[in-house]
């Protein structure tokens, strides 16, 4: 990882798009946050005051079709995994995510737009050392024919993802990522969400996935890819599963020093493994970056500075149903 000190955004940057479930316009603004704040979602546009929620494993209330964050009052923001992946993948420790609707915009189905927003805002070092969750022993979860494991890996965070779909066009794929901003930007950020046409059609007919389209999803039928522009990577489906895993595990609250292996997994498995790790206090500890390796890295400035926005996030929503339903 590039920085030994914590980082945040230098300024704000906004992206606009549609929610994959509702199909309605939504605006999302990334902005700075204080040391040790982590990722804070701020819901605006509600009747009364804005409301906020801390993005951590305790805030996850649904994982069936996307990662949904909420509190005791119910769901608050859906499809959080792509923007979380961008923040963690690009090495941002503390940030606010201000959103004026119940879903993070799907954009092109990848994390590329959020990486571009981070580039626009710029990343700045903060005065405190970066902290990590270091995995001390293997933690494993099996759900049906899906298997996930977090194990010690002191060199950083590694994702080892394997998928195996009955659809012969997707089939069996695997991808291994040693996470840093360069590898995330080059190898993972542009991988799009995906699904099979029969699943998408079923969701559409039920009134879900109203924002899904060929512009934001990779779609297969029984014997071919339906997107006329083709794939961005030959193994784009496996790479997108890596993207999802990075986003879901960002809900640890701190960067993880460990290796994550997933076989036939998805949001539900990712969350289950993270919760299993958090529940076993003998399986992890919090460590700080070595002070001897703190570097004075100059900030990359965006176009304008901005104050941190705070508030409370709320409102009842239904989970977003994306075409990647595994």
> Could you list the active site residues?
267
Rounded to whole angstroms, how far apart are CA atoms 107 and 243?
Answer: 15
Asked if 237 and 168 touch (Cβ cutoff 8 Å), the reply is: no
Whether 26 contacts 104, CB under 8 Å: yes
CA neighbor of 123 nearest in space, from 81, 91, 156: 91
Count of CB atoms situated within 10 Å of the CB of 240: 28
CB-CB contact of 30 with 97 (8 Å): yes
- Residue 157 to residue 20: CA distance in whole angstroms: 29
Q: Are 52 and 314 in contact (CB under 8 A)?
A: no
Question: How many Å apart are CA 52 and CA 54, to the nearest integer?
Answer: 7
Dihedral sign of CA atoms 133, 81, 265, 183 in order: negative
**Contact call for residues 246 and 226 (beta carbons, < 8 A):** no
Q: How far apart are CA 23 and CA 217, in angstroms?
A: 14
Inter-axis angle of helices 267-279 and 236-249, nearest 10: 30
Which of 225-230's residues contact partners 24+ apart within 8 Å by CB, and which partners? 225/169, 226/197
Pairing status of strand 218-220 against strand 194-196: parallel
Alpha carbon distance 156, 132 (integer Å): 10
Is the distance from CB of 158 to CB of 177 less than 8 angstroms?
yes
């Amino acid at each position: 990882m590039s920085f030994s000190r914590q980082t945040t955004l230098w300024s704000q940057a906004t992206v606009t798009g549609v929610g994959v479930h509702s199909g309605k316009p939504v605006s999302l603004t990334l902005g700075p946050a204080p040391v040790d704040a982590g990722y804070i979602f701020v819901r605006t546009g509600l009747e009364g005051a804005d409301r906020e929620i801390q993005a951590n494993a305790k805030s996850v209330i649904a994982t069936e079709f996307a990662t949904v964050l909420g509190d005791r009052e119910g769901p608050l923001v859906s499809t959080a995994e792509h923007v979380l992946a961008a923040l963690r993948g690009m090495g941002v420790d503390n940030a606010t995510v201000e959103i004026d609707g119940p879903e993070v915009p799907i954009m092109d189905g990848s994390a590329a737009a959020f990486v571009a927003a981070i580039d626009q805002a710029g990343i700045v070092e903060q005065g405190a050392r970066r902290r990590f969750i270091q995995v001390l022993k293997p933690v494993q979860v099996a759900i049906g024919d899906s298997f996930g494991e977090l194990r010690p890996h002191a060199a950083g965070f590694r994702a080892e993802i394997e998928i195996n779909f009955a659809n012969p066009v997707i089939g069996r794929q695997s991808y291994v990522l040693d996470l840093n901003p360069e590898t995330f930007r080059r190898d993972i950020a542009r991988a799009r969400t995906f699904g099979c046409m029969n699943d998408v059609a079923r969701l559409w007919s039920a009134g879900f996935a109203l924002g899904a389209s060929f512009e934001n999803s990779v779609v297969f039928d029984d014997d071919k890819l339906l997107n006329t522009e083709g794939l961005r990577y030959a193994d784009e489906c496996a790479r997108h599963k890596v993207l999802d895993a990075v986003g879901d595990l960002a809900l640890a609250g701190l960067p993880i020093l460990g290796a994550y292996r997933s076989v036939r997994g998805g949001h539900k498995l990712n969350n289950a493994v993270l919760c299993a790790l958090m529940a076993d206090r003998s399986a992890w500890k919090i460590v700080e970056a070595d002070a001897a390796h703190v570097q004075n890295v100059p900030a990359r400035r965006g176009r304008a500075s901005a104050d941190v926005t705070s508030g409370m996030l709320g409102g009842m929503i239904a989970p977003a149903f994306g075409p990647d339903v595994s």
